[in-house]
Amino acid sequence: MTRRRGRRPSVFSMAFLDVMSCGFGAVVLIFLIINHATEENAKVVNRDQLAEVRLLDYQVQTGEKDLFEWKERLETLAQRLSASQRQLVSVEADLSQSREALDELSADSSAERTSLEKLSSDVESREEEVQRLRQMEKANEGGKARAFVGEGDRQYLTGLKVGGRNILIAIDVSASMLDETIVNVLRRRNMPEERRRNAPKWRRAVRTAEWLAAQLPLDADFQLFAFNEEARSLVPDSEDQWAPLGDGRALSAAIDRLSAMIPTGGTSLERLAAKLSTLNPLPDNVYLVTDSLPTQGARKPRRATISGADRLNLFREALRQLPPQVPINVILMPMEGDPLASAAFWNLARTSGGAYMAPSKDWP
Per-residue model confidence (pLDDT) at position 132: 62
pLDDT at 156: 47
Domains of the chain: 151-357 (3.40.50.410)
pTM for the full model? Answer: 0.60
Amino acid 169: pLDDT: 95
223 forms beta bridges with 168
Closest CA to 258 of 201, 312, 207, 199: 207
Cβ(245)–Cβ(216) under 8 Å? yes
Question: For residue 220, what are the contacts with CB-CB under 8 A and spacing of at least 6?
Answer: 164, 165, 166, 167, 245
CA distance 105 to 120: 19
CA angle 112, 115, 118 (to 5 degrees): 150
- Residue-level pLDDT at 130: 64
Say if residues 360 and 319 touch (Cβ distance below 8 Å).
Answer: no
pLDDT at residue number 217: 87
Q: What is the pLDDT of residue 157?
A: 41
- Cα-based torsion angle of the residue sequence 147, 150, 151, 157 in order, rounded to the nearest 10 degrees: -140
In tens digits, what is the pLDDT along the chain, a chain of 364 residues? 445 555 555 555 667 677 777 877 788 888 788 876 666 665 555 677 777 888 888 888 888 888 888 888 888 888 888 888 888 888 888 888 877 777 776 666 666 677 777 777 777 777 776 676 566 555 545 555 565 554 433 444 455 677 788 999 999 999 999 999 989 999 998 999 999 999 999 999 999 999 999 888 888 899 999 999 999 999 988 877 899 988 788 999 999 999 999 999 999 999 999 999 999 999 999 999 999 999 998 887 777 778 888 999 999 999 999 988 899 999 999 888 888 999 999 999 999 999 999 888 877 7
